[in-house]
């Protein structure tokens, strides 16, 4: 009898991802396993057929060869012993269900947790760089017992449940898997005489003060990693890391966009009409900016090299100043009269070309408007 196509056996399409192939095999194997179906030859055949199909389709090289040559491909249709031990495949497919995995060795000491510290900085400090001191509450290795968790003069004892291996074999249904020892939690040892300072945990709560060198040009979202400055690991395990997260505060004058800065430049109507030379603030001190006559509101001037240098760029950005015309307030009667005389002396088309163009467009719109 000819063999069925492996994809047909598992009920998956040819382009199915690895996870779908595993799920399909798991479903068929659970349903047709011989331990669940004694004396059922059909179930036994389906189980072995699915196992053979999974063994090929779960291996990238075998799957590629099978897709090209079918059952005549090397390793397909006969490379697996149907009466052999399925533990290798079962350990891969079913190990995650029971929290264990095959061939696991005894785990080493647990690593401590990573920590994060949010550091608020002014724009000036972020751009120029600064060394700051921070204080963080954390779990440090117990000084009394050097992180072992055992009282001075004593030491941890070998776990009697797992004999120091840190793993025990558990049988659930028809599958036998290894998992961490429930008594020692995979450490292989237990503490019979705990340290009084840390109560056997090997760690105590402390406030730790650190100096953090912030490089010039950092921005909101940037992180600095301080290796080994996180929480100490339990029972002498290695410490985690500390991540210092940057948060650059809003500035009164400048808005930052990467390595460029932006600011608004309020000027009087007279300066905009006649032109002027104004003093503009930068992070390195004031500079002169020449505003040409007849400058319109919204005009942006670029001051090259007056921006910032970021941690990821070699050059310095620019400063962009956008002109905002400021309307005079609290005018006297005499000043208002002077402005009205000036307005009457100005021709709309000559002195206000944009306004004249806008009014012509409005008139044209309404002339063609039919209610």
Give Cβ neighbours of residue 152 (< 8 Å, ≥ 6 apart): 144, 145, 195
For residue 1, what pLDDT is reported?
Answer: 55
Q: What is the pLDDT of residue 154?
A: 84
* pLDDT confidence of residue 185: 74
The strand pairing partners of 203, in sequence order, are 141
Whole-model pTM above 0.75? no
In tens digits, the chain (371 residues) has pLDDT values of 568 899 999 999 988 888 889 889 888 888 887 767 778 888 888 888 988 889 889 888 888 888 887 887 766 665 444 444 444 455 455 544 444 444 444 455 678 899 999 999 999 999 999 999 999 999 998 888 888 888 888 888 888 888 888 788 766 555 667 777 888 777 778 888 888 888 888 889 999 999 999 999 999 999 999 999 999 987 778 899 999 999 999 999 999 999 999 999 999 989 999 999 999 999 889 999 999 998 999 999 999 999 999 888 778 999 999 999 998 889 999 999 998 888 888 765 566 667 667 777 777 777 766 55
What are the Cα distances from residue 334, in Å, to 82, 210, 309, 326?
A: 107, 65, 51, 20
Residue 351: per-residue pLDDT? 67
173-193 in b/e form (b: 16+ CB < 10 A) is eebebbbbbeebebbbbbbee
Task: Report H helices in 231-371.
Answer: 269-274, 333-345, 348-351, 353-367
- Where are the alpha helices (H) located in the chain, listed in sequence order? 6-10, 18-32, 41-57, 60-69, 87-94, 123-128, 269-274, 333-345, 348-351, 353-367
Quick one: tokens of 365? 């719109």
Contact 152, 195 (CB under 8 A): yes
Q: What is the pLDDT of residue 70?
A: 83
Diameter of the chain by CA atoms?
113
**Euclidean distance between CA atoms 352 and 350, whole angstroms:** 6
Q: What pLDDT does 150 receive?
A: 86
Instruction: Give CA–CA dist 309/292, Å, rounded.
Output: 29
List of domains in the chain: 6-94 (1.10.287.110), 115-248 (2.10.230.10), 255-326 (2.60.260.20), 333-367 (no CATH)
């Amino acid at each position: 009898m000819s063999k069925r196509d492996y994809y047909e056996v598992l009920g998956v399409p040819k382009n199915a991802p690895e996870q779908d192939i595993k799920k399909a095999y798991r479903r068929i194997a659970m349903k047709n396993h011989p331990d669940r179906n004694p004396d059922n030859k059909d179930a036994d055949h389906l189980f072995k057929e699915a196992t053979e199909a999974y063994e090929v389709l779960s291996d990238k090289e075998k799957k590629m060869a099978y897709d090209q040559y079918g059952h005549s491909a090397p390793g397909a249709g006969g490379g697996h012993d149907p009466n052999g031990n399925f533990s290798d495949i079962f350990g891969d497919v079913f190990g995650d269900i029971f929290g264990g995995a095959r061939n696991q060795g005894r785990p080493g000491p647990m690593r401590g947790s990573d920590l994060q510290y949010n550091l608020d900085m002014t724009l000036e400090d972020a751009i120029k760089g600064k060394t700051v001191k921070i204080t963080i509450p954390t779990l440090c290795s117990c000084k009394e017992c050097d992180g072992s968790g055992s009282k001075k003069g004593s030491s941890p004892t070998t776990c009697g449940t797992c004999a120091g291996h840190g793993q025990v074999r558990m049988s659930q249904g028809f599958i036998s898997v290894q998992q961490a020892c429930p008594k020692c939690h995979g450490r292989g040892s237990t503490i019979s005489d705990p340290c009084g300072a840390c109560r056997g945990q090997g760690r105590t709560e402390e406030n730790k003060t650190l100096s953090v060198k912030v490089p010039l040009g950092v921005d909101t979202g940037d992180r600095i990693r301080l290796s080994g400055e996180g929480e100490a690991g339990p029972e002498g395990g290695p410490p985690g890391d500390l991540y210092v997260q940057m948060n650059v505060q809003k500035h009164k004058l400048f808005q930052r966009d990467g390595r460029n800065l932006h600011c608004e430049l309020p000027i009087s109507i007279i300066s905009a009409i006649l032109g002027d030379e104004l003093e503009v603030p930068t992070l390195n001190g004031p500079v002169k900016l020449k505003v040409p006559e007849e400058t319109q509101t919204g005009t942006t001037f670029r001051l090259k090299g007056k921006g910032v240098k970021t941690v990821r760029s070699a050059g310095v950005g620019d400063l962009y100043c956008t002109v905002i015309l400021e309307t005079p307030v609290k005018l006297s009667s005499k000043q208002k009269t002077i402005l009205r005389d000036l307005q009457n002396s100005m021709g709309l088309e000559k002195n206000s070309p944009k306004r004249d163009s806008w009014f012509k467009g409005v008139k044209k719109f309404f002339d063609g408007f039919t209610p």
